[in-house]
Amino acid sequence: MYKLIALDLDGTLLNSDKQISSENKAAIDAARAEGVRVVLVSGRPTSGMRESLEALNMVSDDDYVLSYNASVVQKVKSETIIRSQILTGHNAKQLAKLAKKLDINIHAFSHQKGLITPAHNDYTTHESVINGDTITLIDFEELADDEAILKVMLVDHAHKLSAAIAQLPAALYEQFTIVQSAPFFLEFLNKDSNKGIGVKALADHLSIPAEQVICMGDAGNDFHMIQYAGLGVAMGNATDDIKAVADHITVTNDQHGVAKVINEFVLNM
């Protein structure tokens, strides 16, 4: 019996129109009615997940949300932190120097300042639009070394970003968790943060073993939680590396893949 379902948002629960289908909502409602916990796990900030949480009526203090690729695990209503492992201004400055060297755009999420970038670009604008965040222009050298930074992202055209990734020093992979959430987004997290660690922390908090956890996702930042779960599910639209690690591959996000999995593995329909 599965007791916890962890769902990625973009490319998984949300369809191509960034909506939760009636089929997915009905399946989630039915699972929750059976006592199964359902949580959203996204690279987005919590503010960017609010609309989906409200649509699913997952806004009480008995509901949890995992944001910034599960760098932060918290209760929805009170925002009580269950686990938080984030970066610093020192890290952001280090990565800004790297971005300048590679001629790649960069932005970050500051606890105090929100979405920050040293220069306007299409990819930070995209981030701003999907999450409803205001962009603050700032030279990262102005950040205090101890400023709380949720995550840092290299953002640029897919071909340009791929070329930059090929040039990343190996030492960076020892210092940070590095995941690609989209062809134009490369995310740098605290080394002790990823979606797998975050979902495990919540499952442990709720005394739910891994074998009773379902995780569903489509992109590189979902790798760790799909690997962790008792049932790791890749969407039909997932990248090949995610399909390779998954226990099960469902249909695409536009074909209500989340509902299909819940109906088959949780509701036995």
pLDDT one digit per residue (tens) for the chain, 269 residues:
899 999 999 999 999 999 999 999 999 999 999 999 999 999 999 999 999 999 999 999 999 999 999 999 999 999 999 999 999 999 999 999 999 999 999 999 999 999 999 999 999 999 999 999 999 999 999 999 999 999 999 999 999 999 999 999 999 999 999 999 999 999 999 999 999 999 999 999 999 999 999 999 999 999 999 999 999 999 999 999 999 999 999 999 999 999 999 999 999 86
29 is catalytic: no
Residue 44, SS3 per DSSP: coil
Q: For residue 41, what is the enclosing H or E element?
A: strand 37-41
- Which member of 8, 63, 133, 218 is catalytic? 8
What are residue 215's DSSP bridge partners? 6, 232
| pLDDT, position 145 | 98
Give residue-wise pLDDT tens across range 126-163. 999 999 999 999 999 999 999 999 999 999 999 999 99
| pLDDT, position 35 | 97
Is residue 227 a contact partner of residue 242, using CB atoms and an 8 Å limit?
no
Q: Across all residues in the chain, what is the average pLDDT?
A: 97
Q: What predicted TM-score, i.e. pTM, was given to this entire model?
A: 0.95
Nearest to 199 by CA among 42, 31, 36, 23: 42
- For CA atoms 158, 161, 167, 168, the dihedral sign is negative
Go through the domains of the chain in sequence order and give each one's CATH number.
4-84+193-266 (3.40.50.1000), 87-190 (3.30.1240.10)
Nearest to 68 by CA among 48, 42, 32, 87: 42
Is residue 148 a contact partner of residue 86, using CB atoms and an 8 Å limit?
yes
Give residue-wise pLDDT tens across range 49-66. 999 999 999 999 999 999
How many beta carbons lie within 10 A of that of residue 154, not counting itself? 26
| pLDDT, position 268 | 86
| pLDDT, position 214 | 98
Give residue-wise pLDDT tens across range 181-200. 999 999 999 999 999 999 99
Looking up tokens 């039909």 gives 236
Residue 232, SS3 per DSSP: strand
Nearest to 11 by CA among 37, 53, 44, 39: 44
C-alpha distances (whole Å) from 63 to each of 38, 106, 110 are 8, 33, 25
